[in-house]
Amino acid sequence: MSISRLTKSLLVAASFFVCVFSQASFANDADIETLGKKVTALSKAMIDADGKALNALSSPALSYGHSGGHIENQAEFIEKITSGKSDFVTINVSDQTIGISGDTAVVRHILNADIKDGGVPNTIKLGVLLVWQKQAGDWKLLARQAFKFPPPVTQ
């Protein structure tokens, strides 16, 4: 019994698509794992006030939004952390989701932290949206926006 040309072509095409989509899924899984590690590294760098690590993790085009509405660029964000004006003592992240579209990733989570802003101890709970962009093969934090959690109820 001979397989028709059309059947052979369909089998080759199907095999091609299986390979392509398997690779895309594998790459996506690897990027999701990498992004999870980047979020952990960002939290550690914030706790350690490690300016070099914060610079390496973030994009020069960073837009860092606070829950109170204040916006910082990369230099302002790093300076506030490294100067101790914003001192993260602990950071715990929960309910994290990661979605990837091309070279852009959206990470959402709940951030619970013990901080000392201006030396005054406080505990915060915030919702956080992080936007990461793959730049020269490495994921960089492009934008961050925090919001009060739970958000206010609207009527």
Q: What is the pLDDT of residue 8?
A: 60
DSSP reduced 3-state for 4:
coil
Gap between the Cα atoms of 92 and 74, Å rounded: 22
Its pTM stands at 0.80
Structure-block tokens of residue 58: 């973030």
Return the amino acid letter for 12. V
Q: What is the pLDDT of residues 26-59, one digit of tens each?
A: 458 999 999 999 999 999 999 999 999 999 999 9
Q: Are strands 138-148 and 58-65 parallel, antiparallel or unpaired?
A: parallel
The full set of domain ranges for the chain reads 5-148
The structure tokens 């973030």 sit at: 58
Whole-angstrom Cα Rg for the chain: 21
The structure tokens 């802003």 sit at: 117
% of the chain beyond a pLDDT of 90? 75
Average pLDDT over residues 3-30: 55
DSSP reduced 3-state for 38:
helix
Ramachandran category for residue 102: left, alpha or beta (phi over 0 → left; psi -120 to 50 → alpha): left
Is it true that domain 5-148 has CATH number 3.40.50.1220?
no
Strand order in the sheet with 138-148: 71-72, 58-65, 138-148, 120-135, 104-117, 86-101
